[in-house]
Amino acid sequence: MENKPLLRSLVPGQFAALVDSLGAPAYRARQLQEWAFKHGATDWAEMGNLPRTLRQALAERYDLSALQLQERQLASDQTRKFLFRLRDGQTIESVIIPMADHATFCLSSQVGCAMACTFCATARGGLERQLTAGEIVEQVIRLRADLHHDPIPGLGDRGHNVVFMGMGEPLDNWEAVEVALRILMTPDGLAMSRRRIQISTSGPAAGLRQLIATAPGVGLTLSLGGSTDQERKQVMPVPGRTSLQEALRLAADYGRQAGRRVTIAWVLIQHTTDLPEQARRLAGLLKGHNFKVNLIPLNPLSDSKLVPTEQPRVLAFQQVLTAAGVPTFIRASGGRDIDAACGQLRRRRQDR
């Protein structure tokens, strides 16, 4: 059977037309919207203030829920990793990462990924399909509910950030990601500030241009993995990859437009992406632009020979960049004792 569209794929402005088409009075739109986004309902029966006939009419046309929790892993550092099963049996991962005073929700934008990065578990299976906006938004709903029912001790109550750093290349699914962003940010949706949202991309030019054309104002992270096109090709060997220069130029354009500093994500792989000359070249590429760098020591995959860079070399790499005036931070990769590297949990379950 063909899946129904998800209620949470509608942007708040569309709810008025929906209730009107079902012959219900206008104020029902606001109630329905609140169930969808504010209360995060996952069952029509929860919508106690809506008449049963309206709920039935809605349920005939829309699905309220598309994600079923299949597995939840808890790391010693309190990172929580979720494997969700979708209506067609595909699975995706989402993660809650505890930060100093808030939680970061790491979302998937596709089932699988076409980007073929050598260090990434998601890349191994290729791209299965795009996620819909409703499937993206529901990840936030589910993670938020998890935190609500089971708060992380000592985390404080500063809410959550959202990063598109889970499975997939968000700019290759811009149509759905763009709708999801609007739902996340509108006051009648999830009412999140654009400052709390970050898109991470491997930098396809077409996608970056769409991002600039839409101007959502959210943060941008560009994953580099190499200081020349040749180096990048070895670590991120997707055919037709946008050149480094062009990706950096478009990212900088977007950063200026959004009034935000763009982040460069750099995975540190021993003897591959941690050479001093790479740090020097990277500094040269970034100098004079409003970029900062996040160094991410590789989260090693069990079936790969790639090894994370050791701490002294991480610090040396950082030192070269900071000496050149590029603000550079070392990001701990969380959840080492669970399958926290992008796509690892899903992959392990598929292998069974």
Binding site for ligand SAH (CB under 6 A): 115, 119-120, 165, 169, 200-202, 223, 265, 267, 296, 298-299, 301, 333, 341-342
Residue 169 among the catalytic residues: no
One-letter amino acid for residue 298 of the chain? L
- State in angstroms the smallest separation of the CB of 225 from ligand SAH: 6
Q: Of residues 60, 71, 93, 106, which has the active-site annotation?
A: 93
Beta bridge partners of 266: 295
- State in angstroms the smallest separation of the CB of 236 from ligand SAH: 8
- State in angstroms the smallest separation of the CB of 120 from ligand SAH: 4
Check residue 168 and report its DSSP letter: S
Q: Of residues 106, 113, 120, 342, which has the active-site annotation?
A: 342
Complex with ligand SAH: residue 65 or 328, whichever CB lies closer: 328
Complex with ligand SAH: residue 93 or 138, whichever CB lies closer: 93
Which of 166, 161, 267, 242 lies closest to 251 in space, CA to CA? 242
- State in angstroms the smallest separation of the CB of 118 from ligand SAH: 10
Complex with ligand SAH: residue 218 or 267, whichever CB lies closer: 267
C-alpha torsion sign, points 130, 132, 137, 142: negative
- State in angstroms the smallest separation of the CB of 111 from ligand SAH: 13
193 Cβ neighbours under 8 A, 6+ residues apart = 185
Complex with ligand SAH: residue 299 or 328, whichever CB lies closer: 299
Residue 342 among the catalytic residues: yes
Complex with ligand SAH: residue 15 or 164, whichever CB lies closer: 164
SS (H, E, C) 80-147: EEEEEECCCCCEEEEEEEECCCCEEEECCCEEECCCCCCCCCHHHHCEEEECCHHHHHHHHHHHHHHH
Contact between residue 45 and residue 39 where contact means Cβ atoms under 8 Å apart: no
Cite the active site residues. Answer: 93, 342
